[in-house]
Amino acid sequence: GDSVTQMEGPVTLSEEAFLTINCTYTATGYPSLFWYVQYPGEGLQLLLKATKADDKGSNKGFEATYRKETTSFHLEKGSVQVSDSAVYFCALRNTGGFKTIFGAGTRLFVKA
Amino acid sequence: GAGVSQSPSNKVTEKGKDVELRCDPISGHTALYWYRQSLGQGLEFLIYFQGNSAPDKSGLPSDRFSAERTGGSVSTLTIQRTQQEDSAVYLCASSLRLNADTEAFFGQGTRLTVV
């Protein structure tokens, strides 16, 4: 079945460092891909999405490009801030899918 | 409403008791989903509704779990004879449609603790 694999955390970075969180997926068909973020004490929020191959989703300085050839959707940010500390979830929804399938989440700590 | 609303936000219950968790989706959203997030774990899909119908209940962990949705709106997840392993955050989400490119909006969750 469909699945999402993302890098294990925690990831600890200093402020202004470059961030990459790897995400790969296994799916039949043409899924849509998402990154969700969960800040401490808050619910899941959609960070960005891409609905077809080569699409780039972007929001709040974060970017991810839908790469069908490598079945990847890596999350990147050029300069992280302390306020980016959160758990990041990569996810997919497949064509005709009734559920969003999530990766295990990657916890990011950003130090001042 | 403005977002997905879940109640209660926290629930502590004794082992063996029944609990009801409520989800009020975004107005007009036809699809509704329940997930469970255990400590240090990812999100485990439980069940979805299209309107009031739940076509696939195979994600529910056991027959102690049930869910219903009425009027195409509010949904209730019921856990009977709770066990300690049921302790988790139960998340509800809704989306405008079931289409793959439609994002799901999540509520804040209900933190259930079974003692």
For B101, which of A51, A99, A102 is closest by C-beta distance?
Answer: A51
Q: According to the model, what pLDDT value does residue A96 have? A: 67
Average pLDDT estimate for A89-112: 88
A–B CB contacts, 8 A cutoff, strictly below: 57
Q: According to the model, what pLDDT value does residue A56 have? A: 97
* Bridge-based pairing state of the strands B10-13 and B110-114: parallel
The 8 Å CB, 24+ separation contacts for A51-57 are A51/B100, A51/B101, A57/A33
Q: Cβ of A103 and B42 within 8 Å?
A: yes
Question: What is chain B's pLDDT, residue by residue, as a tens digit (115 residues)?
Answer: 579 999 999 999 999 999 999 999 999 999 999 999 987 677 899 999 998 999 888 889 999 999 999 988 999 999 999 999 999 999 999 998 877 677 889 999 999 999 9
Q: What is the 3-state secondary structure (H, E, C) of chain B?
A: CCCCEEECCEEEECCCCCEEEEEECCCCCCEEEEEEECCCCCEEEEEEEECCECCCCCCCCCCCEEEEECCCCCEEEEECCCCHHHCEEEEEEEECCCCCCCCCEECCCEEEEEC
Which residues, at least 6 apart from A60, have a Cβ–Cβ distance to it below 8 Å? A47
Q: Cβ of B101 and A93 within 8 Å?
A: yes
Q: What is the pLDDT of residues A6-33, one digit of tens each?
A: 988 899 999 999 999 999 999 988 899 9
Q: Cβ of A32 and B101 within 8 Å?
A: yes
Q: What is the pLDDT of residues A48-100, one digit of tens each?
A: 999 999 999 999 999 999 999 999 999 999 999 999 999 999 999 887 667 78
For A102, which of B43, B98, B102 is closest by C-beta distance?
Answer: B43
CA of A105 vs chain B CAs: smallest distance (Å)? 6
What does the buried/exposed string (b/e) look like for B83-115 if buried means 16 or more CB atoms within 10 Å of the residue's CB? eeebbbbbbbbbbeebebebbbbbbbbbebebe
Q: Cβ of A99 and B45 within 8 Å?
A: yes
Interface of A with B (CB under 8 A): 30-32, 34, 36, 42-46, 49, 51, 89, 93-105
Phi then psi for residue B81, to 5 deg, are 45, 60
Residue whose pair of structure tokens reads 């999540």 in the numeric block: B106
Q: According to the model, what pLDDT value does residue B104 have? A: 86
Q: According to the model, what pLDDT value does residue B39 have? A: 76
Cβ contacts of A103 on chain B, cutoff 8 Å: 42
Identify from A37, A44, A46, A66 which residue to disrupt to test chain B contact, counting B C-beta atoms within 10 A and taking the largest count.
Answer: A44
Q: Cβ of B103 and A51 within 8 Å?
A: no
